Amino acid sequence: MTPSTRHVDLLIRHARVDDDAPLTDIMINAGRIVALATGWDGTAREEIDAAGRAVVPGFIEPHIHLDKAMWHRARPSVAGTLEEAIRTTGELKSRCDREDMLTRARRVLDMAVRNGTIAMRTHPDVDPIQQLLGVETMLELRDEYRDLIDLQIVAFPQEGLIKAPGTLQLLEEALNLGADVAGGCPYNEASREDTEAHIDAVFALAQRFSVDIDLHADFADDTADARFFATEYIARKTIETGYQGRVSLGHVTSLGSLPPAQLAPLVELLADAHIHIVTLPATDLYLGARRDTENPRRALTPLRALVDGGVNVAYSSNNVRNAFTPFGNADVLTIGNLLAHAAQFGTPSQQAQILAMGTVNAARAIGIEGNYGIAPGRLADLVVLDTPWIADALLDMPPRTWVIKRGRITVTTHHCCEIHRAHSTEEV
């Protein structure tokens, strides 16, 4: 295809956008890809020679907690359990202030930008402890980083709704302030009945504000506790309310304990409801199956069954350096490599599936797929990887040579890495 103009804002020459196709030139105008061609002879205001490097759509973090990141030194873990993480985080939240949260979140955002992430869905806590501090801070960061990364904000009731009176009203205030998504944590209630009431309340709120839903669900090693086996209820609720394609579930590790005969119809129901599953391997592997003394489980959602069943699966970092996840550098490729090992997705086709989970699948999970990808008319949100083959992305874990956000170069990596802000350049 040839662009209508012979001059563009940005030209990426000799890019590998398909391992089975010749090197391609990518023409970009006004923040969008206008054409793909071979040996284009027009001119550009700015030009990159990819020199045969792989170019992929920008990476996406569909589930991350910026407000709780980088707390690893403030209160180091002793036991390393989920119960300790919830308790420790509650204590830290009670004395957190805005400047501290901004400083910690900026560190993670800068990591993400350097690593080629162009969109992120963050889940700040909304509860009687923190009130709306997390949402207000994320709104400030959404504006501050708007030229580097698109930030979606989930109003997330970590402490529950029924268990924490007043939280539902705070969620409503958060959405009125500008939060994008109604969140939920239904397993953090006192009973199965309250878990269902929690889910019902989040759906009602989302419908009232016409926003998507993102729930932390079924974060356990098995389904013995009914609070941690709500996936079927959520899927049926999604279909009943006409919310197909607008619901994402994070963790969902309990399903990994189900026998195939019980799992199969649930996977079919999830596919029918077009629910997006976001697996969080760094956290799930770290916290899961700690009480298993024999044949310890992987504590992951059943990735293979979900993928084979046609469910859209993505992955994300979840937490970065806190009691829930003591590691992390906000690098989608690092998490993808970890997931590929843990889920035994190592064949070439499976590695391609993992890469898709951090790009196109994640775009679907946060509702931006219409403007995403390497095709004419899509936003020019791209990463040039320092490797000649897309198929080698998870093998090489290559530097991000250039990151392009809406047609503007935001990161350049040679011997060092620079983040190019709209009005300044920050050496990192």
**What is the pLDDT tens value at each position of the chain, 428 positions in all?**
445 568 999 999 999 999 999 999 999 999 999 999 998 999 999 999 999 999 999 999 999 999 999 998 887 888 888 788 888 888 888 888 999 999 999 999 999 999 999 999 999 999 999 999 999 999 999 999 999 999 999 999 999 999 999 999 999 999 999 999 999 999 999 999 999 999 999 999 999 999 999 999 999 999 999 999 999 999 999 999 999 999 999 999 999 999 999 999 999 999 999 999 999 999 999 999 998 999 999 999 999 999 999 999 999 999 999 999 999 999 999 999 999 999 999 999 999 999 999 999 999 999 999 999 999 999 999 999 999 999 999 999 999 999 999 999 999 997 567 788 764 434 33
Alpha-carbon distance values, 225 to 112, 133, 137, 157, 266 (Å): 36, 32, 35, 20, 18
* Domain ranges across the chain: 7-57+372-427, 59-370
Q: Which residue has the tokens 């946060």?
A: 366
Q: How far, in Å, CA of 145 to CA of 311, rounded?
A: 32
Q: What dotted CATH number matches 59-370?
A: 3.20.20.140
**CA nearest to 60, candidates 269, 298, 373, 320:** 373
**Taking a C-beta distance cutoff of 8 angstroms, is the pair 367, 361 a contact?**
no
**Taking a C-beta distance cutoff of 8 angstroms, is the pair 142, 153 a contact?**
yes
Q: Which amino acid is at 16?
A: R
The whole-model pTM stands at 0.95
What are the start-end ranges of the E strands in 16-116? 24-29, 32-37, 43-49, 54-57, 59-64
Q: How far, in Å, CA of 345 to CA of 356, rounded?
A: 13
DSSP letter, residue 182: E
Q: To which CATH superfamily is domain 7-57+372-427 assigned?
A: Urease, subunit C, domain 1 (2.30.40.10)
Q: How far, in Å, CA of 421 to CA of 401, rounded?
A: 17
